[in-house]
């Protein structure tokens, strides 16, 4: 998503940091890990993953290793790209996978309970806010999953956590996600980073690099890469993961962004996203040409709408007006017929939203 960056400060600081010593880079990684833990409510974060999809898949593999079970569940409300990566990881690790249905834009809880009944499930991977922007009931899901002896992997958005309760406080065992929304531009699809956070019982199963804080022989604070016995250069084929690098520059940008914004700033960004999304949807509904695909669902940033004309035609008209339209849901979600996924970020102004509404309503 296109985000609003704090002026030129973020880019200038990242550029200058790249010219400093490696020790300073380790400190930046440590601070990034600390902020991820604060936002997610978990005890330990690694030094980043490639993206949100690989972090979710690594979380599922971690859960399978921890529980010694071979079955991974996820609902259709998880991002389609993430689901494809999950399938690939499960295939390569000889893990069984099952995709659950959805009900009113969220996970079908009855189907989940039926799938958990066999006692052979390692983890449920759930996204909240999910692909439609709807917020799942993480606390209720955690209780059901834990009763079956499985772990809960929650994929989330760091900006959303400025408003929502931290998944770790609601019972999540592993928290993952994509970090592009904090401090990183779209840049034609990349680069960005993924994050993964766990609690201490799972720290030795954590994939990727981990930066720790210690003191040198003179008693000075310093930073090191720690718990390296998990990694490929020591454990070879027995390593916890094949992740062998991190998205260092991208997480430095995220650290700078989060530090500059602070808790109040992150909360304000979340509030702007929600208020602008609600305004956009309300104005589109007033045209009489749009309705919500999932009425009444609480959401964040994304919202699924049903226009009264084919999505392809709607997006063609919008493009002629200089606006990139919403995402067509039907290729991935045939049951959401003519679904149109709209995303509204804090970067959009009232004038821009009004222009979208005028063009979509056929008045421009």
For the domain that residue 150 is a member of, what is the CATH number? 3.40.640.10
Q: Which one, of 192, 173, 154, lies nearest residue 78 by Cα?
A: 154
pLDDT of residue 222: 92
Q: CA-to-CA distance for 306 and 338, rounded, in angstroms?
A: 6
Q: CA-to-CA distance for 92 and 235, rounded, in angstroms?
A: 19
Q: 198, 230, 256 — which closes off a domain?
A: 256
How many residues belong to the chain?
364
Lowest mean pLDDT among 221-230, 251-260, 302-311: 221-230
Whether 236 and 332 map to the same domain: the answer is no
Whether 220 and 273 map to the same domain: the answer is no
pLDDT digits (tens, 9 = 90+) for 71-114: 999 999 999 999 999 999 999 999 999 999 999 999 999 999 99
The answer to whether the beta carbons of residues 58 and 196 sit under 8 Å apart is yes
Is 3 within a domain?
Answer: no
Q: 201, 235, 256 — which closes off a domain?
A: 256
Whether 166 and 278 map to the same domain: the answer is no
Is 124 within a domain?
Answer: yes
For the domain that residue 317 is a member of, what is the CATH number? 3.90.1150.10
Question: Mean of the pLDDT values across residues 299-315?
Answer: 96
Q: 202, 234, 256 — which closes off a domain?
A: 256
Q: Higher confidence at residue 12 or residue 144?
A: 144
Distances, alpha carbon 326 to alpha carbons 222, 296, 356, 358, in Å: 48, 20, 11, 15
Q: How many structural domains compose the chain?
A: 2
The torsion region of residue 288 among left (phi > 0), alpha (psi -120 to 50) and beta comes to left
Whether 249 and 273 map to the same domain: the answer is no
Is 223 within a domain?
Answer: yes
User: Domain range spanning residue 44?
Assistant: 9-256
* Neighbouring C-beta atoms of residue 134, cutoff 10 Å: 25
Is 106 within a domain?
Answer: yes
Whether 252 and 291 map to the same domain: the answer is no
Is 249 within a domain?
Answer: yes
pLDDT of residue 326: 96
Is 46 within a domain?
Answer: yes
Please give the backbone phi and psi of residue 218, each rounded to the nearest 5 degrees, phi first.
-95, 5
Whether the predicted pLDDT of 136 surpasses 90: yes
Q: CA-to-CA distance for 281 and 344, rounded, in angstroms?
A: 10
pLDDT digits (tens, 9 = 90+) for 161-208: 999 999 999 999 999 999 999 988 877 777 889 999 999 999 989 888
Is 261 within a domain?
Answer: no
Q: CA-to-CA distance for 76 and 336, rounded, in angstroms?
A: 12
pLDDT digits (tens, 9 = 90+) for 317-338: 999 999 999 999 999 999 999 9
Q: Which one, of 69, 97, 104, 62, lies nearest residue 83 by Cα?
A: 97
pTM recorded for the entire structure: 0.92
Whether 236 and 116 map to the same domain: the answer is yes
Q: Higher confidence at residue 167 or residue 299?
A: 167
Whether 181 and 325 map to the same domain: the answer is no
């Amino acid at each position: 998503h296109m985000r609003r960056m704090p002026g030129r400060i973020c880019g200038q600081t990242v550029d200058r940091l790249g010219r400093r010593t490696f020790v300073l880079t380790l400190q930046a990684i440590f601070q990034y890990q600390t902020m991820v833990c604060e936002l997610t409510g978990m005890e330990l974060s690694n030094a980043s993953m490639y993206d949100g999809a690989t972090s979710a898949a690594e979380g599922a593999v971690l859960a399978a290793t921890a529980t010694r079970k071979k079955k991974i569940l996820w609902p259709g409300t998880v991002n389609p790209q993430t689901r494809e990566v999950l399938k690939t990881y499960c295939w390569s690790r000889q893990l069984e996978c099952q995709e659950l249905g959805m009900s009113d834009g969220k996970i079908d809880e009855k189907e989940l309970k039926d799938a958990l009944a066999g006692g052979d499930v390692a983890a449920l991977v759930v996204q909240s806010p999910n692909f439609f922007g709807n917020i799942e009931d993480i606390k209720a899901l955690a209780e059901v999953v834990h009763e079956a002896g499985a772990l809960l992997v929650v994929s989330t958005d760091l900006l959303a956590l400025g408003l929502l309760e931290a998944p770790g406080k609601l019972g999540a065992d592993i928290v993952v996600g994509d970090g592009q929304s904090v401090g990183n531009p779209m840049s034609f699809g990349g680069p960005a980073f993924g994050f993964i956070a766990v609690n201490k019982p799972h720290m030795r199963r954590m994939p990727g690099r981990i930066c720790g804080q210690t003191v040198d022989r003179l008693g000075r604070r310093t930073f090191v890469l720690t718990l390296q016995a998990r990694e490929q250069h020591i454990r070879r084929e027995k390593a916890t993961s094949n992740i062998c690098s991190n998205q260092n520059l991208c997480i430095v940008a995220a650290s700078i962004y989060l530090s500059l914004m602070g808790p109040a700033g992150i909360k304000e960004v979340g509030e702007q996203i929600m208020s602008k999304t609600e305004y956009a949807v309300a104005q589109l509904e007033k045209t009489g040409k749009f309705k919500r695909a999932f009425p009444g669902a609480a959401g964040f940033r994304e919202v699924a709408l049903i226009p009264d004309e084919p999505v392809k035609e709607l997006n063609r008209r919008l493009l002629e007006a200089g606006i990139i339209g919403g995402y067509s849901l039907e290729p991935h979600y045939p049951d959401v017929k003519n679904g149109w996924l709209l995303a509204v970020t804090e970067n959009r102004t009232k004038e821009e939203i009004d222009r979208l509404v005028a063009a979509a309503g056929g008045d421009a």
